[in-house]
Amino acid sequence: MKDFIASSSYWLTRFQIGMMSPYTKGVVNTCRPFAYYRNVFFEGQSSQVVLASLENHKILDVGCGYTPYVADSMFRACHYAGIEFYGIDPTIEQNKQFNNIDVIVAGLTGGTGGFDANAPGLDKAIAASAENLPFEDSSVDIILSCWLILIWIDKEEDLFNIFTEFHRVLKLGGKVSIYPLPDWCSLRFESAELKAILNEFTYTQHFIYEPFNFLYPSVNRVTFTKK
């Protein structure tokens, strides 16, 4: 039943986003707070427990949006904790200018806004795409990706390039967690290349359910582990 709910909720969310696309002129750049990341990637554990679990790890947040510029983000919490955490998004730029729409979107996605174009730690905020990560082979422990893959990026050629890049930068046993997704077994891919690179990972999925909270559709987080 959970898998059916996850898939139904995912496709409904995709439909709603598709209806919004003509008005957003591209990807909506959000700045979801650390609390959001803790709920969808770390089973709601406390900030202290999450940060302690990430010590001596290199983590990438691929498709981080504007999180490096806000105080309530995981990016900022990791910066203050001395954790090697990188925000990766092509929209990152020096002397970033923010407008009222950015503040509104931040609120709608659970953040407080309060953008700071000169925020601390921006040396680890990198303007790059998921297909071209500026990191050495087998150098990354964990990749997180929230509201990007199979939401805004769903072409099989792009997915092949992204998972190939994830496989390249991850250490053996390294993990990539993606949210939101449907029941992974329900997806059918045509590309032999994509299916081959996906076979280089094992996967598990965890059903996320937050009743009466529109910020958390009842979908899956899928975690892929490099073989």
pLDDT for 64? 95
Report whether 136 contacts 165 (CB < 8 A): no
pTM score, two decimals?
A: 0.94
CA distance 110 to 211: 16
Say what angle helices 34-41 and 74-81 make with each other, to 10 degrees: 90
- pLDDT on residue 33: 94
- What phi and psi, each to the nearest 5 degrees, are found at residue 154? -140, 0
Q: Report the amino acid identity of residue 156.
A: E
The CATH class for the domain spanning 2-226 reads alpha beta
Report CA torsion sign: 40, 46, 50, 51: positive
Burial (0-12, 13-18, 19+ Cβ within 10 Å), 48: exposed
CA distances from 27 to 6, 51, 101, 135, 186 (A): 23, 29, 13, 24, 25
Domain ranges of the chain: 2-226
For residue 26, what pLDDT is reported? 61
Low-confidence ranges of the chain (pLDDT < 50): none
Q: What is the pLDDT of residue 209?
A: 87
pLDDT at 28: 67
Residue pair 143/109 in contact by the 8 Å Cβ criterion: no
pLDDT computed for residue 211 by the predictor: 81
**3-state DSSP call for residue 215?**
coil
Determine the pLDDT at residue 206: 96
